[in-house]
Structure 1
Amino acid sequence: MPQVHIDYYSDMYMGANYWRFLTKEFPMKMKNLFNISHNSEETFVAGLSMAGYGAIKWGLTYAAEIAGVAALSAAVDPYRLWQDEPIRQRHAF
């Protein structure tokens, strides 16, 4: 599984473009490197916790490219999770 830190599957304003990498660049690299189908009917996305949120976002954003999504214990409210993050309480913003 690719590491995306705490970006919640988004391209960062001041940082990495995780969303573009995971939804466009990485799948194409894997499809070209390995014998993986290019057919959307055979393409599935799955994730656990924050990756579950990313899988749902991916499936809804690129519905024509994804046949199915599995989201396990998906963190579907990233704003609330960010507000409740303990490290946020220790730093003055």
Structure 2
Amino acid sequence: MAYVVTPPCDGCKYTDCVVVCPCDCFREGDRMLYIDPESCVDCDACRSECPVEAIFYEDEVPDQWRSSIELNAQQAAVCPPITEKQEPLA
């Protein structure tokens, strides 16, 4: 299992979560971040850092955002890693 970034991140792309990740599992898309499920160690450090509450444990992703689980896996394979804090889009 892994943590998943969901639609509340879309359009804001805060990176507070990125700097606390001990395994550098975040990937940067154009409008939001994604978590690589292969790298995530389920440490829970990122969830509390997200100011828009967009990060959920895979089993706890709300039903309306369940497609985000597959989207994170797909985008993690093609988006570059992000390891430093950047200015949000919002």
Q: TM-score range by the shorter chain?
A: under 0.3
TM-score, normalised relative to structure 2: 0.26
Give the TM-score of the pair, scaled to structure 1: 0.25
The structure with more radius of gyration:
1
